[in-house]
Amino acid sequence: MCFKKKVKLYFSDSLGSLKRRLWPYKQVFVIYDARVEEYLPKLGLQGKPAYAIAATEENKNIKTAYEACKWLLEQGADREALVLAVGGGVTTDIAGFVAGIYKRGIRYANVPTSLVGQVDAGIGGKTGVNVSSFKNMIGLIKQPEFTWICPAFLKTLPEKDFLSGSAELLKTFILEDREAYEQAVDLLSAANRAPAAYGKLIEKAARIKARIVGKDEKENGLRRILNLGHTYGHAIEWYQHIHADEAPLTHGEAVAVGMVKAAALSEKRGYAAPGLESKLRDDFRRCGLSVDFPCPEQELEEAVAKDKKAEGGKINFVFIEKIGKVKVAKL
C-alpha cells in the first residue's frame, strides 16, 4: 500500500507575512534560538509567550527539552496549543521533540532561520535531542503543521553556517535535479549572498525533500537517499569530536567531503562514469567547500567499518550514478 504523508510548506519573501499563517491557532508558544531574537517583532510575534534557548549541540539534550516542557506547563499550554519553533536545525529539532512529548503530543510549526533548516532540518518531521556526544539518540518523527520558509533570515547567518547549508542544498540537487545543481554551483561560486538570489533554489530543494519524505516518512526506503554523503560525513564528525578538534568542519562541510568520497566509490564500482569525482571536487571548491578528508582516511575507514558491524555487516550506502540520479546499495 502506498501511504502519502502531507508535508506542508509555505514560502515568503517577507517576514511580516507569517502572522496570517498563525490565525487558525488560538494559543501560540514560541520556542526560539536566542541568536535570532531580533526577528521576533518583525515576525509579528511580540506579545506571544516566548522561550529562548541557547542553540548549541551541547544544549540539544533532554534537560533543555524538559525545561521547555516545564515552561509550557507554567504558561498553561493545553492540548490545543501550537509550539512555534524559530531558529536553525538545533532549535527546530528540540522544539519539535518538546511538542511531541508535551501532554503526549501537541502541534508545532517550524520557522527555520538557517539555510540547513530551510532546505533540510525544518522539513520532514525528524525531531530529537543528543545523548552526550551521540547525536539525535532520543527523538520521534512528528510532522509539523507547516514549515514557513523565508530567505530574509539568511542576511545574518554566519558564513560557516551558510556554507554548511550550501552543502545540503547541493546534496539535494545531486539526488534529482541536475539543472538546479548547476545553477546552485554558479550562484554559490559567485559568492553572492543576497538572500533574494536563493529564494527559488531554496524552494526547489525544500520541495524535493518534502516530496521524498511524503513518500517515505519513516525511512523504510526512498528517504535513505537523503543520507548521501553522510556515511563518511558522520565518520569525519566523529573523528573530530573524539580528537577535540578546535576548528571542526560543520556538518554540511563534512557531508560535502562525504559526497566526494561517494562519487569516488561510485566510479570504482562502475556505477558512475569516470570524471564524476573530479567534477564534484572542482564544483565544491568553487563554492568554498572542503573536499579532502581533514584526517587520515584510514582512521575513517575504521569508523565506517565499526558502523558496518553495528548494522549487521552491511551499510545502505548512497552512490551517485550521475548528477541528478543516485542509487542505494550495500557498502
Ligand X SMILES: NC(=O)c1ccc[n+]([C@@H]2O[C@H](COP(=O)([O-])OP(=O)(O)OC[C@H]3O[C@@H](n4cnc5c(N)ncnc54)[C@H](O)[C@@H]3O)[C@@H](O)[C@H]2O)c1
Based on the shown chain and the rule CB under 6 A, indicate whether residue 35 belongs to the binding site for ligand X. Answer: yes
Based on the shown chain and the rule CB under 6 A, indicate whether residue 135 belongs to the binding site for ligand X. Answer: yes
Known active-site residue 243: no
Catalytic option among 209, 217, 237, 253: 209
Are 125 and 217 contacting, i.e. CB atoms less than 8 angstroms apart?
yes
User: Which of residues 50, 83, 106, 116 is near ligand X by CB under 6 A?
Assistant: 116
User: Which of residues 64, 110, 113, 147 is near ligand X by CB under 6 A?
Assistant: 113
Based on the shown chain and the rule CB under 6 A, indicate whether residue 223 belongs to the binding site for ligand X. Answer: no
**SS3 state of residue 138:** strand
Catalytic option among 6, 38, 63, 104: 104
Which three cell numbers mark 18? 507569517
Query: Closest Cα partner for 183 from 272, 322, 287?
Result: 287
Angle, nearest 10°, between helix axes 297-310 and 230-242? 110
Distance, CA of 107 to CA of 305 (rounded, Å): 40
User: Which of residues 110, 143, 147, 164 is near ligand X by CB under 6 A?
Assistant: 164
Based on the shown chain and the rule CB under 6 A, indicate whether residue 253 belongs to the binding site for ligand X. Answer: no
3-state helix, strand, coil in the chain (%, to 5): 50, 15, 30
Which three cell numbers mark 309? 558491524
Task: Tell me the H-state helices in 150-194.
Answer: 159-176, 178-189
The type of residue at 85 is: A
Known active-site residue 209: yes
- Residue 76 gets which letter from DSSP? T
Based on the shown chain and the rule CB under 6 A, indicate whether residue 36 belongs to the binding site for ligand X. Answer: yes
Q: Which is nearer to ligand X, 120 or 267 (CB)?
A: 120
Phi, psi of 93 (to 5 degrees): -65, -45
Based on the shown chain and the rule CB under 6 A, indicate whether residue 120 belongs to the binding site for ligand X. Answer: yes
Q: Which residue sits closest to ligand X, CB atoms considered?
A: 89
Known active-site residue 104: yes
- Residues near ligand X (CB under 6 A), total: 29
Based on the shown chain and the rule CB under 6 A, indicate whether residue 172 belongs to the binding site for ligand X. Answer: no
Q: Which is nearer to ligand X, 152 or 328 (CB)?
A: 152
267 Cα distance to chain centroid:
27
Site for ligand X in 91-110 (CB under 6 A): 91, 93
Site for ligand X in 259-278 (CB under 6 A): none
Query: Closest Cα partner for 175 from 17, 307, 323?
Result: 323
Binding residues for ligand X (CB under 6 A): 33, 35-36, 55, 57, 60, 87-91, 93, 113-114, 116-117, 120-121, 124, 126, 135-136, 153, 156-158, 161, 164, 251
Positions marked catalytic: 104, 126, 168, 209, 219, 223, 227, 230, 234, 251
